[in-house]
Amino acid sequence: MNLNQLTFREAVQGDLDNIVLMLSDDKLGQKRERYTRPLLESYLNAFHSIEADPNNELIVACDREEVVGVLQLTMIPFLTYQGGWRASIEGVRTAMTHRGRGIGTLLIKRAIQRASDRGCHMIQLTTDKQRPEARRFYEKLGFEATHDGMKLHLLRK
């Protein structure tokens, strides 16, 4: 695979199977995702919500026609920073067969450019403490661990 031939676009519904497979294809993803065929309806519902929201982008990296990477980019308006916008990155994954080739780096750079194009003053993400290699990856791209993030999981209805 030649990284110069890698293309980026917004995901379409036909990509969803590959996206969910990538999200579930690691130790942590296996605990929280369910890759089944057919896919759970909740994945399709979430995709349609993301697709309909102009402040959300589900970006895929493609090697020719094959989806080999994904991330979700969300632009969020805030009152802080004088009413500034910031972007949030979530669900960064590269296909198991394509890891270590620079696809993740190019995906993040694409997200940074998209956030900049939309006028965001900051881009943020979280990474699980069980993934120290992910933290090192983001630090190499210029991200700094300036805050402690906290989460509260809510019961699903």
Q: How far apart are CA 126 and CA 149, in angstroms?
A: 7
Summarised one tens digit per residue, pLDDT across range 67-96 is: 999 999 999 999 999 999 999 999 999 999
Residue 132: domain span:
3-140
The model's pTM is 0.93
Summarised one tens digit per residue, pLDDT across range 21-59 is: 999 998 888 889 999 999 999 999 999 999 999 999 999
CATH number, position 35: 3.40.630.30
In a domain, 99, yes or no: yes
CA atoms within 13 A on the CB side of 2: 3
In a domain, 145, yes or no: no
In a domain, 53, yes or no: yes
